[in-house]
Chains A and B, each alone.
Chain A
């Protein structure tokens, strides 16, 4: 199991982990399992400003295309270029090498959930 300590979660099933300067964003294990085989991601350009809750891109699986939302505000400093040739990393390791973007000048979002609250939220959704 991946180390989820320090991660926070959006009800739209993205996670964010803040270091000192930057925040890394991806989608959750639950999200990847619901999407199934990821085959393509449409991601923002480096330098783009995102607000918390704004659309950051699109993730496509064999089943469907879905919007991705940024859990926090900030400026995009990096996108995971590996995903271009290996979108399946999002399925295989959503909290690790399947990360999606990094942001700087992060503006916090008080609506995010901690892991316990997110797990309870997912539990509630699947019933």
Chain B
């Protein structure tokens, strides 16, 4: 069987820009255009442009259905606001992490991970009583990320919407470079910026307009490689790496995404897990030597395996190597030292507070 990876409406743009393409969750996406280091730096210091059209978008029309599948109280979400939340299974395991948008005409838009969109859709549909109102609208939309300290100024020059009034985790409808967009102040990089949802027909025009107008900001297109090194510095979990259907939100340090005073699928199991006490928790750590931790490496202490690395890489911004791992709660305090088994050697590491990197507050 030959499985053909899907192309986003911006595929030809990536090829024209000389991107190295890679298959990711059934999509052919840019991995990098120049080097990951340069693209990472552009986002931290100027602005980077991402094609995120592989992300899935599900529309859930029915408030009670939304309330039942999402870990937070969606009824408290005002139109125009966004929350980060989880979909959990009956055992309290994480099916996906999602952004929930409260749209003006009622109902919710869930922005979900590319590789989970079919699973999420089937799961939500199965939870509906009679005619479950969930629609996968992902293929109709292009999603472009504009991220970095110069992102807000750049997008503002291309829109009449007053972006000063769009708070973090809020969105407005407007046009950017004359393309109708949902302008969302969100991101997965640790920087300020926007994610722009537009119809596929306007995608190329929007992309080119941002690259052109962003020249004076030092804009660079950035691929999935930089997206991963950026999100890791920002301490953001990656579904499939740092959490999965066998991970409890409490273990993943995502307590703040739970409204346990309302009913949702997985709530009871999560409460039971809390009462029982956790056997492992996700921590951030930095390497004390130059070794690079990687997903799947063992965490060792006193010669025993005590945990597993879930993400790890160089931190270009901080200049040392960082990672996240599940370890017993006794080893979770910042300052605690353990080893990471790198090719048979226990390389020294120290637990640090997440996130590793926090953007400086604007003056």
Binding site for B on A (CB under 8 A): 33, 36-37, 39-40, 42, 58, 60, 62-65, 88, 91
A36 touches which one: B32, B291, B343 (CB < 8 A)?
B32
- Chief secondary structure at chain B's binding surface: mixed
Q: Find the B residue at minimum CB distance from A61.
A: B36
**Cβ-closest 5 pairs across A and B:** A39-B314, A37-B36, A62-B36, A60-B292, A37-B37
Binding site for A on B (CB under 8 A): 20, 31-32, 35-37, 225, 229, 290-292, 294, 313-314, 343
Structural contact, B36 and A36, CB atoms closer than 8 A? yes
Structural contact, B314 and A62, CB atoms closer than 8 A? yes
CB contact under 8 A between A62 and B225, given known A36-B36, A37-B37: yes
CB contact under 8 A between A36 and B35, given known A63-B225, A65-B294: yes
> Which residues of chain B are near A36, meaning CB under 8 Å?
20, 31-32, 35-36, 225
Interchain nearest-CB distance for B292 vs A (Å)? 5
How many pairs of A and B residues are in contact by the CB < 8 Å rule? Answer: 34
> Which residues of chain A are near B31, meaning CB under 8 Å?
36
> Which residues of chain A are near B313, meaning CB under 8 Å?
62
Q: A64-B294, A88-B37 are in contact. List 9 more A-B contacts (CB 8 A).
A: A36-B20, A36-B35, A37-B35, A39-B292, A40-B291, A58-B343, A62-B229, A65-B343, A88-B35
A and B contact pairs by CB, cutoff 8 A, 23 listed: A33-B20, A36-B35, A36-B36, A36-B225, A37-B37, A37-B225, A39-B292, A39-B314, A40-B291, A40-B292, A42-B343, A58-B343, A60-B292, A62-B36, A62-B229, A62-B313, A62-B314, A63-B225, A65-B292, A65-B294, A65-B343, A88-B35, A88-B37
Of A37, A39, A58, A88, most B-chain CB atoms within 10 Å: A37
Interchain nearest-CB distance for A62 vs B (Å)? 5
> Which residues of chain A are near B314, meaning CB under 8 Å?
39-40, 62
> Which residues of chain B are near A65, meaning CB under 8 Å?
292, 294, 343
> Which residues of chain B are near A42, meaning CB under 8 Å?
343
> Which residues of chain A are near B37, meaning CB under 8 Å?
37, 62, 88
Q: In the complex, A106 Cα to B37 Cα: how many Å?
A: 37
Q: In the complex, A60 Cα to B20 Cα: how many Å?
A: 19
> Which residues of chain B are near A33, meaning CB under 8 Å?
20
> Which residues of chain B are near A39, meaning CB under 8 Å?
292, 314
Q: In the complex, A91 Cα to B31 Cα: how many Å?
A: 16
Q: In the complex, A63 Cα to B225 Cα: how many Å?
A: 8
Structural contact, B290 and A40, CB atoms closer than 8 A? yes
Q: In the complex, A45 Cα to B210 Cα: how many Å?
A: 50
Q: Find the B residue at minimum CB distance from A84.
A: B290
Q: In the complex, A7 Cα to B234 Cα: how many Å?
A: 44
Q: Find the A residue at minimum CB distance from B35.
A: A37
Structural contact, A91 and B35, CB atoms closer than 8 A? yes
> Which residues of chain A are near B291, meaning CB under 8 Å?
40
Q: In the complex, A22 Cα to B229 Cα: how many Å?
A: 39
Q: Find the B residue at minimum CB distance from A60.
A: B292
Q: Find the B residue at minimum CB distance from A42.
A: B343
Interchain nearest-CB distance for A119 vs B (Å)? 20
Q: In the complex, A60 Cα to B342 Cα: how many Å?
A: 12
> Which residues of chain A are near B294, meaning CB under 8 Å?
64-65
Q: In the complex, A65 Cα to B225 Cα: how many Å?
A: 15
Q: Find the B residue at minimum CB distance from A39.
A: B314
> Which residues of chain B are near A58, meaning CB under 8 Å?
343
> Which residues of chain B are near A88, meaning CB under 8 Å?
35, 37
Q: Find the A residue at minimum CB distance from B34.
A: A37
Q: In the complex, A49 Cα to B219 Cα: how many Å?
A: 48
Q: Find the B residue at minimum CB distance from A91.
A: B35
Q: In the complex, A36 Cα to B33 Cα: how many Å?
A: 11
Interchain nearest-CB distance for A103 vs B (Å)? 23
Interchain nearest-CB distance for A57 vs B (Å)? 11
Interchain nearest-CB distance for A98 vs B (Å)? 14
Interchain nearest-CB distance for B298 vs A (Å)? 15
> Which residues of chain B are near A37, meaning CB under 8 Å?
35-37, 225
Interchain nearest-CB distance for A31 vs B (Å)? 14
Q: Find the A residue at minimum CB distance from B314.
A: A39
Interchain nearest-CB distance for B27 vs A (Å)? 18
Interchain nearest-CB distance for B42 vs A (Å)? 14
Of A33, A36, A88, most B-chain CB atoms within 10 Å: A36
Interchain nearest-CB distance for A85 vs B (Å)? 10
Q: In the complex, A64 Cα to B293 Cα: how many Å?
A: 10
Q: Find the A residue at minimum CB distance from B290.
A: A40
> Which residues of chain A are near B20, meaning CB under 8 Å?
33, 36
Q: Find the B residue at minimum CB distance from A58.
A: B343
